[in-house]
Structure 1
Amino acid sequence: MGAAGPSTVNVLPAPSPIVERVVYVPREQRGHMFSGRGEDNVFEWVEEIHSCLRVRHLPLVEQTSFVLDHLEGPAKNEIKYRAREDRETPEQVFSILKELYWSSQSYIALQQNFFSRKQLEGESLQEYSHALFALMDKVVQQAPGGMTNSVVLPRDQFVEHVLDSGLRRELKRFVRLNPDSTLLDVRKEAIRWVEEGFHYEMRERSHSVPTSSALQYRVQGQIDSSGPSDGNVSELTELKRMMRVQQEQLNELTQSLRQIQSQSVGSHPRRLGPIFCRRCNQPGHIARNCTLGQTQFRGQRGRLSHVNVLPPNGQAENCNPLN
């Protein structure tokens, strides 16, 4: 037998120890608490709790408990002291809270608040649009029969009451070209124009001069302290526009006066033929320079100086003082 060759053995690597990892999965985010104090909006809270209930898929009893767990203060006490059969379902609890914490303002007052809302000094375009959305939500909640133009009204209010007059003209033009646009569409265009850094009136003159609109409307709601204030910039722009209009009117008046003067000069008829004197009817001079009239006047003066005056005794005497 021949000598046996060396044998090879495959050695498997030792398995690495298994490390157990614990992953903590947090429970769904809770809604905010409602107490009925301050500026808590019961309609916003109800909508938020509704969305939480849809995600959790809880049975009816647990849904009611979930709603009660998100109440505190006067709102919780109000539900606590109601009869049990009046608070068995979430909708019953919501109905009680809506009836109790319904806005104290009337529908007319809310409409007045909405239509009188203008962009404030230092307020960004985003902040102004959010304020209009919030006011319109209150109006819709109080509207007796609902509102069909709740999308158009905030857009029109935004377009009419932004601070910059040039931006207002651009937005009105955009709405005329896009009648189905919403407030979000208009705000997007407004922010785009502001970020370009060119003012509407400057673009009309074909100048690439950065203006103060970017200073006036900071998207993040901040005011540039090194630049002019928003009110001064807006007033200065309006004054420039008025001065241009007045200058155009003055130019038109000056041109009209020149035309009238040229017409009046051309309307005088030219004198044809010789000049005749009205006193002697002789050509070549006028009555003021007539020599015949001057000669007759000197002769009359000479005759008057030799008039005989009768004295009281009846004898005629020469009254010439030279005699």
Structure 2
Amino acid sequence: MDDLEEQLEVLRLQLEQSMAQTTEAHQEKAAAESEWQAQKLHLEQELARSHQSSNWEPAAAAPQRIYVQCERRMPKLGGRPQKPEDPDVDDWTSDMENHLQASPLSDREGLDFVMDHLTGPAGQEVRFREPRTAMEALQIVRRVFGDVDTMGAAQEAFYTRIQQPGKTLLDYSLALVKLFSKLSKRQPSLSPLRNETLKGRFTSGVRDVSLQREMRRLEFDDSRMSVDSINYNTK
């Protein structure tokens, strides 16, 4: 009997010890969960305060850069024309302005486009002056490299111009029209005589002598013929 009671007492003690261990484990688990929740709440509060103090906003997408293709290739300008094929400064700046006005480019993109088409002395001069917009750059080009011909120089350039080797009649006529435009700005009285003046200079400057004679005959037969019709009929 005594042995049985001792065994029961041992079992009771083991059961109480097991229950105590189970209770302690539950308490430790609950404490761990409580500590984790507290840490999570603390981190969320710190993150919220950090966003408020820095006026945090979602990052905006970078603006997309737009490039517009020219309808025709813009030549590069190096300064005042040195060769017949070099672009005229006034014509070049006017064409560039027209392109910029027709293109949805920002001031920075427009300036980059102009600078990409400036070389030599023109590019160096404009970069030195550090323009902020494309129009400022074009104003510098006009002011420094624009047409400064005198009346005598404009007359000499027009009346001595001949058809250059390798150039077509159309190339020659276009060059004459540009020179006449400059001359007529300094000598407005020439404007009413545009057709006659251009025809005479065009005929005299053609390289082919036989073609010269033919054009003089056509001009004599029809005095109303314009320089445009001469270009068309003498390809």
TM superposition score normalised by structure 1? 0.40
Match of 2:119 among 72, 81, 87: 72
Counterpart residue number, 2:179: 135
Structure 1 contact 110–135 (Cα < 8 Å) conserved = yes
Q: Secondary structure at the match of 1:31?
A: coil
In structure 2, how many angstroms separate the alpha carbons of the residues matched to 1:147 and 1:122?
A: 30
1:81-108 deviations in Å (ceiling 9; x for gaps): 22x5xx3333332222112113454222
2:137 is matched with which residue?
93
**Partners of 1:54 and 1:156 in 2: CA distance:** 38
SS in structure 2 opposite 1:169? helix
Tell me the CA shift for residue 28 of structure 1.
0.6
Give SS of 1:43's match.
Answer: helix
- Aligned runs of 1:22-101 on 2, under 5 Å? 28-29=69-70, 31-36=74-79, 38-39=82-83, 40=86, 41-82=88-129, 87-101=131-145
Identify if the C-alpha distance between structure 1 residues 32 and 166 changes in structure 2 by more than 3 Å, giving closer, same or farther: closer
1:254-293, aligned counterparts within 5 Å?
none
Q: Structure 1 145/64 Cα, relative in aligned 2: closer, same or farther at 3 Å?
A: farther
Matched, 1:112 2:151: no
- Residue type at the aligned position of 2:132: E
Q: Secondary structure at the match of 1:81?
A: helix
1:110: how far off?
Answer: 1.9
C-alpha spacing 1:124/1:90, structure 2 compared with 1 (3 Å): closer
Match of 2:219 in 1: 171
- 1:33 aligned partner, one-letter code: K
Amino acid paired to 2:100? L
CA deviation map 1:28-82 (0-9, x unaligned): 1462322226444212321231232133222344323322332233222212222
Q: Give distance in 2, aligned partners of 1:103 and 1:132.
A: 16
Residue 205 (structure 1) aligns with = none
Report the alpha carbon displacement of residue 133 of structure 1 after superposing the two structures with TM. 2.7
Q: For 1:72 and 1:47, how far apart are their aligned partners in 2? A: 18
The residue aligned with 1:182 is 226
Which structure has the highest helix share of the two? Answer: 2
Runs of 4+ in 1 over 6 A off after TM superposition: 120-123, 144-147
The number of residue pairs the alignment matches comes to 158
Measure the CA separation in 2 of the matches of 1:53 and 1:150. Answer: 35
Go from structure 1 to structure 2 and tell me whether the alpha carbon gap of 1:126 and 1:61 turns closer, same or farther (over 3 Å shift): closer
In structure 2, do the counterparts of structure 1 residues 123 and 67 end up closer, same or farther at CA, with 3 Å as the change threshold? closer
Identity among equivalent pairs (%): 24
Alignment CA distance shift 1:145-1:58 (3 Å): farther
TM-score by length of 2: 0.52
> Would the alpha carbon gap of residues 33 and 161 (structure 1) be closer, same or farther in structure 2, given more than 3 Å must change?
closer
CA distance in 1, matches of 2:145, 2:99: 21
Q: Distance in 2 between matches of 1:81 and 1:132?
A: 34
Q: Secondary structure at the match of 1:56?
A: coil
Give the drift of 1:168.
0.5
Report the AA paired with residue 72 of structure 1.
T
**Structure 2 spans left out of the alignment, 5+ residues:** 1-66
Letter in 2 for 1:34: L
- Higher relative contact order at CA 8 Å, sep ≥6: structure 1 or structure 2? 2
Distance in 2 (CA, whole Å) between partners of 1:139 and 1:72 is: 28
Amino acid at match of 2:97: H
- Opposite residue 95 of structure 2, the aligned amino acid is E
From the CA coordinates, give the structure whose radius of gyration is larger. 1
